[in-house]
Structure 1
Amino acid sequence: MCLLATWWILWKERNARVFEGKARSPYWIYVKLIAAVISWARSLLLFRFVIAFDLWEGWAIICKEGVSKVKIIQSWYPPSDGQMKLNFDGSSLGNPGESGIGGLCRNDKGEVLWAYSGPIGVADSNEAEVRAVHSGIKYLDRSAFDKIIVERDSLNVIRWLSGEASPPWRFLPFFEEIEDLVHGSSIVFDHVRRSANAEADSLAMGGVLGQL
């Protein structure tokens, strides 16, 4: 699969240079190559619960040793009756580097109520995470559900949101607005594993790739 993805991306780059006069940077080609492998791998049943970051991080393992070495862990579960879940993620290539955010809200049946994804320019991973949850909470319809659960696999951000730790001063305006938005609502912030945040991870990665 890695070899096929390499051939495909290089073939597209060759055609762009020959027929359109466009020449992308080696870094752009590298990112698109990994994005292609992620997309194709996740379309296979064997990779159903493997998220983009795990595949990115395990690039060499996948190419050299095959799928048996890739860690597959638990998936996302819907909330209880009358509740909704917001999963969010931020992604940064380079840290700092080109970054994106993404997230989605689902009801107790697992149905997607809405989702978001987009670029935020150059940022580090912490800023991407904070801006991702800030955007997600702004979209929430807090009157439609009894309880809201906000999930993310970044322990730092969840601790900042729950008040267990103080956020860096540069993020204080975001957290002050979040506090105002959730005031009077029944909302909890939970830390989950990466695989339980798979769709949000993909949306955040899509926000990054959309600007390259």
Structure 2
Amino acid sequence: MMFKTDHSLATYQILHSYGFTYHTAAKRMKLVRWIPPLVDFCLNVDGASKGNPGFCGGGGCIRDKRGTILLAFANFYGVGNNIIAETRALWDGLRLTYFLGVCLSEIYSDSSTLVHSIQKGKCSNWHIQRWWRPSRDLLQGNATILSHVFRETNQVADWVANHSISSICNEVFWGFNRLPYACKGPLLVDRSGLLNIRLI
């Protein structure tokens, strides 16, 4: 048997008593960082759910190629799960950029389920159809690239999404100085190009 994480010695002894051998998959270290867009702006989006299902919210930020933030948004969605929060955050981010007339060259999300469903054109859950379909249509009409990224490179959007749940309201933050305090650190790390460690 192969395990992704180490278990207690007692667990291994029980398995061994039944004749099973076990191995633990060795973790590798990968260095990752936020990649700025080559031209125009990029949008990072993320959703969060406390309890899954539970209170959920989404958020994101729009940045230029120097990592300077144009704005960030945080929206509270009520009760829902992770995929609802992720999809709604993408739709909210796309609507906001369309309303502002911002030209996006890249969109980043740490939800591989959402990114792959948009890329394949197959909705993974009927609960998200009303946000998934217009998001896909808007992306197909533009040359914007939707990419999956690791959570470590999407921390600003993650913090804003969590802020929406703790504040239980919808907010837009214009520029760095208006951001919630917890979002400023990850933003500065991204701008500096510092590497994050991810175990895979």
Normalising by structure 2, we get a TM-score of 0.63
- Aligned twin of 1:148: 105
* 2:167 maps to 1:201: no
Q: Secondary structure at the match of 1:170?
A: helix
Counterpart for residue 73 of structure 2: 116
Unaligned 5+ residue runs, structure 1?
A: 1-70
- Secondary structure of residue in 2 paired with 1:127: helix
Q: How far apart, CA to CA, are the structure 2 residues paired with 1:178 and 1:166?
A: 11
Deviation at 1:173, TM superposition (A): 1.9
Measure, in 2, the Cα distance between the counterparts of 1:101 and 1:184. Answer: 24
Aligned partners of 1:162 and 1:188 also within 8 Å: no
Aligned residues with identical type, % of pairs: 28
Tell me how far apart the structure 1 counterparts of residues 109 and 140 of structure 2 sit (CA, whole Å).
20
Match of 1:166 in 2: 123
CA distance in structure 2 between the aligned counterparts of 1:183 and 1:157, rounded to whole angstroms: 15
Distance in 1 (alpha carbons) for counterparts of 2:58 and 2:123: 22
Structure with the higher helix share, 1 or 2: 1
The one-letter code matched in structure 1 to 2:97 is L
SS in 2 for 1:189: strand
Equivalent residue, structure 2, for 1:176 = 133
Q: Secondary structure at the match of 1:103?
A: strand
Cα offset, 1:76, TM superposition = 1.2
What one-letter code is carried by the residue in structure 2 that aligns with 1:167?
S
- Asked whether the equivalents of residues 91 and 101 of structure 1 are also in contact (C-alpha less than 8 Å), the reply is yes
Q: Provide the C-alpha distance between the structure 1 equivalents of 2:70 and 2:145, rounded to a whole number of angstroms.
A: 19
Q: Which runs of 5+ in 2 are unaligned?
A: 1-28, 170-200
The residue type paired with residue 67 of structure 2 is: G
Aligned counterpart, 1:94? 51
Q: Which residue of 1 aligns with 2:41?
A: 84
Q: Where do residues 120-139 of structure 1 align in structure 2 (5 Å cutoff)?
A: 120-139=77-96
> What CA RMSD, in Å, does the superposition of the two structures yield over aligned residues?
2.3
Measure how far apart 1:118 and its partner are. Answer: 2.4
Tell which deviates more after alignment, 127-136 or 110-119. 110-119
- Give CA-to-partner distance per residue, 1:105-151, whole Å, 9 cap, x none: 11112111221012111111111111110100111148653x52111
1:189 corresponds to: 146
DSSP 3-state at the match of 1:148: strand
What residue is the counterpart of 1:211 in the other structure?
168
Give the whole-Å Cα distance in 1 for the aligned partners of 2:59 and 2:95. Answer: 13
Q: TM-score, normalised by structure 1?
A: 0.60
Letter in 2 for 1:76: W
Range with greater deviation from structure 2 (90-99 or 158-167): 158-167
What residue number does 1:9 align with?
none
Gap change, CA 1:165 and 1:182, over 3 Å in 2: closer
Check if 1:75 corresponds to 2:29: no
Preserved CA contact (<8 Å) 2:52 2:81:
yes
Give CA-to-partner distance per residue, 1:37-88, whole Å, 9 cap, x none.
xxxxxxxxxxxxxxxxxxxxxxxxxxxxxxxxxx8952312111x2321111
C-alpha distance in 2 between matches for 1:149 and 1:131 = 18
